[in-house]
Amino acid sequence: MDAPAIELPAKAAQTDRGDSSSRCSSTAPEQPSDECDAGQDGGEEPQTWTAAELLEIRARERTFDGAYWRTSVGLFGASLVVLRVFGLEFFPVGLVFLALGLGFMGIGLARRLRLISRDQHAHSPVFVTSGGTVAVSAAMCIAAYSALLVLLLRI
Amino acid sequence: MPPMSMRAITDKLSLRLENKGSVARDHLANERTYLAWIRTSLSLVTVGVAIRQLYRVSIDLGGGSGAGAAGGSEAQEPLAGRVLGFSFVALGVVFVAVGLYRYFRSQRLMTRGEFPVSRAMVGACAAAILALLVGLLVSMLADQQ
């Protein structure tokens, strides 16, 4: 269920930026425009960053290396405590936390790949907001909490 | 594979915006705010699970000393922990819903150059947490006697 919804914004960006993809069709055909900048800047000469680019990069790193990573690390910690410290009947509860943490890590890494690795200097003319992945992560959370409620009622 | 309906859902959930000025940064900040709501709700859920476990520990400890009244206390004790644990997890669900609603509302309004200042919603969430904490305090005080 996760995979197609994560792909959605990428597909939308592809179809809409078909005109710009003709300039850099020599790189990867499935990621048309975002790979342009990364391909040119990936040479051996040191990269120079303007202040505006650094501002954008820092905002992306705060989101993906900061917020998403912090969320999944917190979940891993919670699952560790539940698995190791709590009683044996709480074992499935710890597994639910672990799965949720892995899900948030996956979503964060997928969006990081798209917004930092492929668009290193943040020059992409179109910004796709994260509504799709936010909805997926919220559905993931609600599903996990429902499982927790059922588990807690049965304990 | 229905590409048209998927495209419609994408356009509704993820907006494609012209990346100029602070557009990308503003929307990334909105996403971070949503994640902060998620983390708050995760803390609430963890507290709910911990309450269940801690009430069980107190039952186990109390059961050894007062073995005669074990039948009565075992039926009565878990109820407070059960209700409190359930309430904390349910409040976690509410917080996810609030974060989701706030994310999409801000996303829509920010494209028009507006921003929703949250006041009543944050107040209501704080009041709900306060009510649960007062309930926890009352339950703990009742356990002392």
Domain positions in chain A: 2-7+49-154
Long-range pairs, A147-152, Cβ under 8 A, ≥24: A147/A96, A148/A93, A148/A96, A148/B45, A148/B48, A148/B49, A148/B89, A149/B86, A149/B89, A149/B90, A151/A92, A151/A93, A151/A96, A152/A93, A152/B48, A152/B49, A152/B52, A152/B85, A152/B86, A152/B89
The strand pairing partners of A128, in sequence order, are B16
- Choose from A46-50, A71-75, B4-8, B119-123 the range with maximum mean pLDDT: A71-75
- Least CB–CB distance from A9: residue in B14, B42, B93: B14
Residue A118's pLDDT is what? 73
Interface residue of A96, A145, A146 to substitute, partner B, most B CBs within 10 Å = A145
| Residue B47: burial class (beta carbons within 10 Å; 0-12, 13-18, 19+) | buried
Measured between CA atoms, how close is B140 to chain A, in angstroms? 20
Pull the structure tokens for residue B22: 């602070």
Taking CA–CA distances from B54, the nearest residue in chain A reads A86
Alpha helices in A17-155 (DSSP H): 18-21, 34-41, 51-61, 69-84, 91-112, 131-154
Domain contains B26: yes
User: What is the domain count for chain B?
Assistant: 1
Contact between B52 and A152 using a beta-carbon 8 Å cutoff: yes
Interface confidence, given as ipTM, is 0.79
Domain contains B4: no
pLDDT string in tens for chain B (145-residue length): 556 676 677 677 888 888 888 888 899 999 999 999 999 999 999 999 999 888 877 766 665 444 444 444 444 456 888 899 999 999 999 999 999 999 999 999 998 888 888 889 999 999 999 999 999 999 888 877 7
Residue A32's pLDDT is what? 44
A contacts of B13 (beta carbons < 8 Å): 8, 131-132, 134-135
* DSSP symbols for B27-81: HHHHHHHHHHHHHHHHHHHHHHHHHHHHHHHHHHHHHHH--TTHHHHHHHHHHHH
Tokens 């040479």 -> residue: A43
φ, ψ for residue A87 (rounded to 5)?
A: -70, 170
**Of A86, A99, A149, whose CA–CA distance to B53 is shortest?**
A86
Beta-carbon contacts of A9 under 8 Å, excluding residues fewer than 6 positions away, are A114, A128, A130, A132, A133, B10, B14
Q: Which domain holds residue B37?
A: 22-144
Measured between CA atoms, how close is A131 to chain B, in angstroms? 4
- Helix A131-154 / helix B70-110 crossing angle, nearest 10 deg: 170
B48: left (phi over 0), alpha (psi -120 to 50) or beta: alpha
Tokens 């900061």 -> residue: A66
Higher local confidence (pLDDT), B14 or A40: B14
Interface residue A6 vs chain B (CB under 8 A): no
What is the residue-averaged pLDDT of chain A?
75
B contacts of A133 (beta carbons < 8 Å): 14
From residue A148, how far is each of A152, A153, B82, B85 by CA, in Å? 6, 8, 13, 11
Gyration radius from chain A CA atoms: 19
Beta-carbon contacts of A114 under 8 Å, excluding residues fewer than 6 positions away, are A9, A10, A34
Interface residue of B22, B39, B40, B49 to substitute, partner A, most A CBs within 10 Å = B49
Which helix (H) or strand (E) segment holds residue A5: the answer is helix A2-16
Domain contains B10: no
Long-range pairs, A80-88, Cβ under 8 A, ≥24: A82/B46, A82/B49, A86/B49, A86/B50, A86/B53, A87/B53, A87/B56
The strand pairing partners of B16, in sequence order, are A128
